[in-house]
Structure 1
Amino acid sequence: MPTEIYIAMGLMFAGFIGVLAFAFRSDMSVSYGVIFAFLTAYFLVPALFSRVGRSLSRTKALDWPVFREKGIATATGHSTSVEATILILLLPFLILCFAISVTIIAAVV
């Protein structure tokens, strides 16, 4: 996947943690710090592997213009770049919306 999608997904997950940490800052601040550390490792380790793999492999990572033009082949068939982007970012977006809704409910109740 292009780096931009990877970054967007990471920002949505970090936003999820940030919204909940801001809403419940007095109750579980240490827990959110641990979750953020695991999230950072979840995104940092594959990024480091791809940089190491770049020097060992002849194949180039998929960049944005090629992704926009050709799309990507998935297990269920070919997907355009828009379809693939929506499929990848849908779950992180819904998780972020969940955090926002929990924060609103906690503020109202």
Structure 2
Amino acid sequence: MTEPNDKLDTLDDAQAAAAFRRLVRHLRNRHDAQNIDLMGLAGFCRNCLADWIRDAGYEGDKAAARELIHGMPAGEWKDKFQAEATPEQMARMEESLKLNGGTH
């Protein structure tokens, strides 16, 4: 969601791209930061980032976008690093998503 006159829009695309790549690489190294916890706290996760790059024009399909973000096929990442979500995590995620204003 873009606010009118948002100074973020003045950020050079190269700088924004570098920051985005740094965020993705950071998440690739922080497997302890589970997607469900990211969703519960911030209302987005690695899979959302994959969706967002597709929304921005990335021509790959959903699987390719997720592989790009995860650094490996999403199924492999899930098998290696994703823990089963607890009911508490699911509830926290649901509450967090309500704060997204209908978008994520």
On whether the aligned pair clears a TM of 0.5, the verdict is: no
Q: Higher relative contact order by CA 8 Å / sep ≥ 6: 1 or 2? A: 1
Which structure would you say has the larger Rg? 1
